[in-house]
Amino acid sequence: MAHAEVIAPGATIGILGGGQLGRMLAQAAARLGYRCHIFAPEADQPAAQVSAAATRAAYADAAALRAFAAAVSVVTYEFENVPVETVRLLDPLVPVRPGARSLEVAQDRLNEKSFANALGIGTAAFVAVDDADGLKAAIARIAPPAILKTRRLGYDGKGQAVIDDARDLDAAWTTIGKAPAILEARVDFEREISVVVARAADGATACYVPVENRHQAGILDMTTAPAPISPALARDAEALAARVAQALDHVGVLCIELFVTKGGALLMNELAPRVHNSGHWTIDACGASQFEQHIRAVCGLPLGGPERHSDAVMKNLIGDDAARWPALLADPGAHVHLYGKAEARPGRKMGHVTWIKPRTGRQGQN
């Protein structure tokens, strides 16, 4: 087990990625007395607005990465498509947590699902698809309805095509850009849940209660904490998340997205090796938020308490939703979070709102 040195408050934490997840990590880090240095290629960086330093450079810019490594005490990431080579370049210079293995598994849907199955965790049935002929062979094994997904770089439902009929193959192959893919069976699920778990450098884990997620057009719309599932299923989901974190030797926060089937089984859909949108409610409803847990873990500190003091509903503000801020701020029960993004494009996550109410159920545990 890795024995990580403690990075004490006052140090500077490097964060690869400049979006809202980096912003909320930097806010949590600041509360614990750390500074953050953001490294990202984009011009509009919500994270840089609240950080002590920022480098705008490409993830392949070796000189910029070396200078970044020299300026920080530890590096983490808020974006799971940071190239693995970037982490490999940084790692001999400065500790990178979580490590390259978590990225390698999570960046590729084929690796991710194979990894889950190897741990005995169920997934939707899937087959790798490398070309148009491969898709024909795959549809013979995974009958429609099915979903074709690019192996890499998909997010918010992008890089996916639903196949309801075996005659739709050409259109689906074109829709996903003819990239290496997997074909997976469409799961007729009862609900979607996720589990956010933190794992410390010493191997200790802390799980937040499983939550239910509702999506709109492939994008997370609303999270309800806790998910309305049985205590036994909740415990199974938490154990599963901890097992994934352990198997990856993950240090930091990760999230697993699960389908609850109509028969009450858990199937893993995705793994995010980072803080996650479905964990934003923890800022307003838990002793230590997912962002604070991540900072604690990567700095070699003990984890905080994941117990919730309140139940919560979190709603994303997507695109023009953010224009509702005057009404939301006029609601005394609304905890409003805005990400400081300049432009409200359709489908863009601009902020979120959390409403909390007194906690119910599962007392004494999460």
Ligand X SMILES: Nc1ncnc2c1ncn2[C@@H]1O[C@H](COP(=O)(O)OP(=O)(O)O)[C@@H](O)[C@H]1O
Place of tokens 């609850």: 260
Q: Considering only residues 42 through 101, tell me which ones interact with ligand X, judged by CB under 6 A.
A: none
Whether 282 contacts 289, CB under 8 Å: yes
Q: Considering only residues 148 through 187, tell me which ones interact with ligand X, judged by CB under 6 A.
A: 154-157, 184, 186-187
Q: Considering only residues 328 through 347, tell me which ones interact with ligand X, judged by CB under 6 A.
A: none
Q: Is 257 in the site for ligand X (CB under 6 A)?
A: yes
Cβ 153 to Mg ion, closest distance in Å? 13
292-328 burial: b if 16+ Cβ within 10 Å, else e: bbbbbbbbbbebbebbbebbbbbbbbbbebbeebeeb
Q: Is 236 in the site for Mg ion (CB under 5 A)?
A: no
Close Cβ partners of 363 (under 8 Å, ≥ 6 residues apart): none
Specify the residue, 27 or 269, whose C-beta has the smaller distance to ligand X.
269
Cβ 2 to ligand X, closest distance in Å? 29
Q: Is 108 in the site for ligand X (CB under 6 A)?
A: no
Cβ 156 to ligand X, closest distance in Å? 5
Specify the residue, 89 or 268, whose C-beta has the smaller distance to ligand X.
268
Close Cβ partners of 101 (under 8 Å, ≥ 6 residues apart): 248, 249
Specify the residue, 73 or 269, whose C-beta has the smaller distance to Mg ion.
269
CA distances (Å), 104 to each of 92, 174, 200, in order? 18, 26, 20
Give the binding-site size for Mg ion (rule: CB under 5 A).
1
Interface pick for ligand X out of 31, 141, 215, 345 (rule CB under 6 A): 215
Cβ 147 to ligand X, closest distance in Å? 5
What mask of x and - would describe binding to ligand X in positions 112 to 151, judged by CB under 6 A? ------------x----------------------x----
Q: Considering only residues 251 through 270, tell me which ones interact with Mg ion, judged by CB under 5 A.
A: 270
Specify the residue, 28 or 185, whose C-beta has the smaller distance to ligand X.
185
Close Cβ partners of 352 (under 8 Å, ≥ 6 residues apart): 277, 280, 314, 315, 316, 317, 337
Report strand pairing: 334-338 vs 252-261. unpaired
d(CA 32, CA 10) in angstroms, rounded, equals 8
Q: Is 218 in the site for ligand X (CB under 6 A)?
A: yes
Cβ 44 to ligand X, closest distance in Å? 22
d(CA 131, CA 173) in angstroms, rounded, equals 8
Give the binding-site size for ligand X (rule: CB under 6 A).
15
Beta bridge partners of 255: 196, 272
Q: What SS3 state is found at 238? A: helix
Residue 218 touches which of Mg ion, ligand X, none (CB < 5 to 8 A by kind)? ligand X
**Where would I find the beta strands (DSSP E) of 93-204?**
126-129, 146-150, 160-163, 181-185, 189-199
Cβ 126 to ligand X, closest distance in Å? 8
Cα dihedral value 126, 130, 133, 138, nearest 10: 0
Q: Which residues bind ligand X (CB under 6 A)?
A: 124, 147, 154-157, 184, 186-187, 192, 215, 218, 257, 269-270
